[in-house]
């Protein structure tokens, strides 16, 4: 297997929702994209999918996926060969992502008709043999996401499923086309903790087994800790820190990351938040966008956003004044 790498630089429109992001993702890796609401993590996920709202403009140097530049690939080609096929999506809200008028089976069938790994590009006719193969594949997949009695499940309507079941079907749908990259946008926000634990477990297991890369966006640091290999912290459209999960939590270097970790409710830390609000993206602060809320901000921070430097192996930081000592022993 080749190493899969995605490197891209993007810039949003007038409201600069994403501001010069560099990110790379390796084959079979789970990358966590952590940030608060409004930090641009969903927009980033959508840019990769090519599913931005019509008022958005994507600019940047490169957005390479599996050796192909998605920025120069035409919209039709992207829709045909990439989106939903080699890159798939697990949405945040598993309810509104289903059409309530069709059964789960119909919707899975429709997906497989166009996105089945057996389908040749440009193929229009849905041959019976492929249909049968796809159905078997679907049932096997539903079983592997631990859904009991998949045959009966296929005849049900979305509202007849529970939240956890819907999310499992969503994961199955995302994995069925045998993609190289799954983008999971807050897949556990809408479900309870016990279900979240099950879903995360499943996602991790399937990704590892199949060698699929996962871009996992979340605001829940605990969930990120659970399944990610590496984590990137975003704030107001800027990526501030990227690190392997262990060093991310043990020795975070950017002040924002530290404050974010301190905000987690815990006995010894008590209640510590971050003062101030997320800035407006239309008129963001100059330089590093976190400087108005940062305790260690200086004139340099107001003037420019630091370039990314690796302060430890694989630990990239974009900050003028990173902490260098670990927080926990």
- What is the C-alpha radius of gyration for the chain, rounded to an integer number of angstroms? 21
Q: How far is residue 197 from each of residues 188, 262, 278, measured CA to CA in Å?
A: 9, 23, 29
Please state, in angstroms and rounded to a whole number, the distance separating the CA atoms of residues 29 and 230: 8
Q: Does 97 bind another protein (CB under 8 A)?
A: no
In the sheet with 238-244, reading across from the earlier edge strand, the strands are 87-90, 181-185, 213-218, 30-34, 230-235, 238-244, 315-317, 309-312
Q: Does 162 bind another protein (CB under 8 A)?
A: yes
For residues 45-84, which are near another protein according to CB under 8 A? none
Helix intervals (H) in the chain: 41-49, 75-77, 104-115, 128-144, 150-154, 163-175, 193-210, 221-227, 245-250, 255-263, 299-303
Please state, in angstroms and rounded to a whole number, the distance separating the CA atoms of residues 36 and 58: 22
Q: Which stretch binds another protein (CB under 8 A): 95-103, 123-131, 161-169, 314-322?
A: 161-169
Please state, in angstroms and rounded to a whole number, the distance separating the CA atoms of residues 154 and 104: 5
The correct pick among 79, 139, 195, 306 for binding another protein (CB under 8 A) is 195
Beta carbon of residue 256, minimum distance to another protein (angstroms, whole number)? 9
The rounded Cα 314 to chain-centroid distance in angstroms is 20
Q: Does 272 bind another protein (CB under 8 A)?
A: yes
Q: Does 279 bind another protein (CB under 8 A)?
A: no
The correct pick among 57, 132, 143, 201 for binding another protein (CB under 8 A) is 201
The correct pick among 264, 303, 307, 309 for binding another protein (CB under 8 A) is 264
Q: Which of 65/248 has CB closer to another protein? A: 248
Q: Does 177 bind another protein (CB under 8 A)?
A: no
Please state, in angstroms and rounded to a whole number, the distance separating the CA atoms of residues 101 and 112: 18
Q: Does 267 bind another protein (CB under 8 A)?
A: yes
Question: Contact letters (x/-) for another protein, 283-302, by CB under 8 A?
Answer: --------------------
As given in the structure block, the two tokens for residue 25 are 């993702």
Q: Does 95 bind another protein (CB under 8 A)?
A: no
Q: Which stretch binds another protein (CB under 8 A): 54-62, 111-119, 196-204, 206-214?
A: 196-204
Binding site for another protein (CB under 8 A): 36-38, 146, 162-165, 192-198, 200-201, 204, 219-223, 225-227, 249-250, 259-261, 263-267, 270-275, 277-278, 328
């Amino acid at each position: 297997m080749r190493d899969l790498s995605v490197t891209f630089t993007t810039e949003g429109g007038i409201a600069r929702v994403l501001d010069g992001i560099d990110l790379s993702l390796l084959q079979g890796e789970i990358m966590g994209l952590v940030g608060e609401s409004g930090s641009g993590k969903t927009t980033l996920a959508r840019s990769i999918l090519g599913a931005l709202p019509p008022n958005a403009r994507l600019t940047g140097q490169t957005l390479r996926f599996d050796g192909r530049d998605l920025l120069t690939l035409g919209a039709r080609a992207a829709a045909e060969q990439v989106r939903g096929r080699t890159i798939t999506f697990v949405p945040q809200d598993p309810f509104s992502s289903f059409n309530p008028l069709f059964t789960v089976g119909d919707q899975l069938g429709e997906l497989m008709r166009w996105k089945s790994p057996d389908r040749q590009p440009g193929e229009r006719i849905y041959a019976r043999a492929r249909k049968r193969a796809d159905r078997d594949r679907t049932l096997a997949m539903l079983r592997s996401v631990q859904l009991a009695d998949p045959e009966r499940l296929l005849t049900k309507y979305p509202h007849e499923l529970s939240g956890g079941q819907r999310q499992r079907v969503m994961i199955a749908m995302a994995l069925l086309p045998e993609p190289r990259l799954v983008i999971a946008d807050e897949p556990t926000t809408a479900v309870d903790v016990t279900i979240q634990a099950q879903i995360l477990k499943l996602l991790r297991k399937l990704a590892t087994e199949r060698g699929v890369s996962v871009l996992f966006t979340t605001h829940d640091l605990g969930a990120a800790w659970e399944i990610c290999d590496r984590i990137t912290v975003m704030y107001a459209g800027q990526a501030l820190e990227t690190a392997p999960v262990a060093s991310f939590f043990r020795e975070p270097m950017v002040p924002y990351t530290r404050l974010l970790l301190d905000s987690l409710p815990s006995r010894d830390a008590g209640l510590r938040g971050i003062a101030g609000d997320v800035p407006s993206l239309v008129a963001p602060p100059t330089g590093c966008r976190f400087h108005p809320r940062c305790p260690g901000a200086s004139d340099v921070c107001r003037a420019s956003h630091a370039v990314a430097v690796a302060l430890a192996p694989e630990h990239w930081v974009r900050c003028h004044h990173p902490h260098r000592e670990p927080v926990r022993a």
